[in-house]
Amino acid sequence: MAWAGWGAGASGAGSAGGPSKAFLWVACLGSVVVTLVLALDRAPTALLTGVAAAYFGLRAMGRFGPKDPT
């Protein structure tokens, strides 16, 4: 029996077209907030969350990742 989890063939996680723009913007804003809090605490992980914020922002603007055909 084949495993039907995430990424397994045509019914996998990517079959629905990926995350919505709204989800990406919420993830971006959440990452920015966490980055600011960590930066204020001088935590070294602020750099990692800053990279995540940049990634989600670029994905939300359509500059990175799969292109929307519409």
pLDDT tens-digit map of 42-51: 999 999 999 9
Q: How far is CA 12 from the centre of its chain?
A: 18
Assign 8 a pLDDT band (cuts: 50, 70, 90).
low
Assign 14 a pLDDT band (cuts: 50, 70, 90).
low
Residue whose pair of structure tokens reads 């629905």 in the numeric block: 16
Say what the pTM is: 0.69
Tell me how far apart the alpha carbons of residues 24 and 56 are, in angstroms, rounded to a whole number: 6
